[in-house]
Structure 1
Amino acid sequence: MTEATDSTDSDTLPLQEPRLWRDGQWTARVIKNEEDDGWAVEMTRHGDPEPALVGPWTMGRDKKNPKPLDGPAFSTLVKTAAEVIRRHEQQLHATLNKSVTVTARNDQRVRVALAIVPDEDSPSATLTAYDDADDSELASVNVSPAFRLTASSAAAWIESDYARPR
């Protein structure tokens, strides 16, 4: 008879200890603060290489050891860490995706979008023009990821009949 194996990773099983709480997505770990005599808590999303959030943690009543983690604190930490990740993703998206709307020579409103694809070996970018009235694509070209999209560069591209910018 063969023994059944549990395919669940023990690092993601729920756990509730005074200095370590874990649910299906997050791990909270109370750690010694290296910069002073206090304590810190780190929140790590499962599968991420480093914590999403590291912050100070409250001392316990003995003023020597950390206050134990509990359910309400863990819930608050999860919400805060998820918000940090969400804001980071929004910032990254805004850095990689820009758009401006300009008026072309025939009074047509054109939205020009720059989408950058970061890649260590071969980054790329695409410049795309859309009719602002119906969002139909007017033109699209590959450009350098270093291309700076401004109202004037968008207008110049439109004026060139969408020739690839240099």
Structure 2
Amino acid sequence: MTDSPPSAAPDFSTDDPAAEAEVIQEARLWRKDGWTARVIKNEDDDGWAVEMIKDGEPEPALVGPWTMGRDKKNPKPLDTSAFNTLVKTASEVLRRHEQQLRALLHKRVSVQTANGDVDVTLDIVPDEYEPYALLSALDAFGGQLAQARVAPNFKLTKARAEAWAEDGFGRVE
């Protein structure tokens, strides 16, 4: 008989699509619809916390306090209503994070040229080793007029976009 060392926490990640569809509804662990809710001991005090993890993600999307049960020692068990509320809240957190990231990585400025309105966009590509940005000029119908690779710290302003357009979308300075 061999003894295996106890693991600190169960690994809920999986590459098996069939396992992802498995529904678990226990007092401290629920897994359903691509989400896992797990009630854990709160590291900061004597209470409890709940973490919401989206399937396939390494980190929880949401960690928050959890209600004590009637005995004031153990956590209140998870239920359908609480799980649905947690899924809604965690989904909103992820949506806001995605919007914030999009706002940081994408800028748009509109300028008027002799040939009509032009939208100039800056899309930052946050590559770990060689980050860069793409500066693009789009006509009123969304057709690409020009594109240039620029430094990831390039500051897109209306004045810079107008200067690039006046230069015929040549070299970016």
TM-score, normalising length from structure 1?
A: 0.87
The structural deviation recorded for 1:107 is: 7.1
Hey, what does 1:4 align to over in structure 2?
Answer: none
Paired residue for 2:126, among 118, 127, 148? Answer: 118
Query: Which one of 144, 150, 156 corresponds to residue 157 of structure 2?
Result: 150
TM-score, normalised by the number of residues in structure 2: 0.84
Structure 2 CA distance for aligned equivalents of residues 164 and 8 of structure 1 = 49
Could you tell me which amino acid in structure 1 is paired with residue 131 of structure 2? P
Amino acid at match of 1:111: D
Change (3 A) 1:109 1:11: closer
| Structure 2, unpaired ranges of 5+ | 1-15
Q: Counterpart in 2 of 1:163?
A: 170
Task: Compute the displacement of 1:10 (Å).
Answer: 5.1
Offset at 1:80? 1.0
Sequence identity, in percent? 59
The question of 1:28 aligning with 2:37 is answered: yes
CA contact (8 A) 2:29 2:37 kept: yes
Count of residues in Structure 1 that have an aligned counterpart in Structure 2: 158
Report deviation, 1:25. 0.7
| Over 6 Å off, 4+ runs | none
Q: Is the 8 A contact 1:13 1:24 kept in 2?
A: no
Give the corresponding residue for 2:138.
Answer: 130
Structure 1, residues 12-32: CA drift from partner, whole Å, max 9, x if none?
621111111111411100111
Residue from 103, 109, 112 that aligns with 2:112: 103
Aligned to 1:73: 82
The 5 A counterparts of 1:27-46 are 27-46=36-55
Contact 2:20 2:34 in 1 (8 A): no
CA RMSD of aligned residues (A): 1.8
Give the C-alpha shift of residue 126 in structure 1. 1.0
Matching of residues 85-104 of structure 1 within 5 Å? 85-104=94-113
Maintained 8 Å contact 1:112/1:129: yes
1:57 corresponding residue in structure 2: 66
For residue 118 of structure 2, what is the amino acid of its counterpart?
V
List runs of 5+ in structure 1 lacking aligned partners: 1-6
Query: Judging changes above 3 Å, is the alpha-carbon distance between structure 1 residues 11 and 31 closer, same or farther for their aligned structure 2 residues?
Result: farther
| 8 Å CA contact 2:39, 2:50 repeated in 1 | yes
Q: Give how far 1:65 is off.
A: 1.2
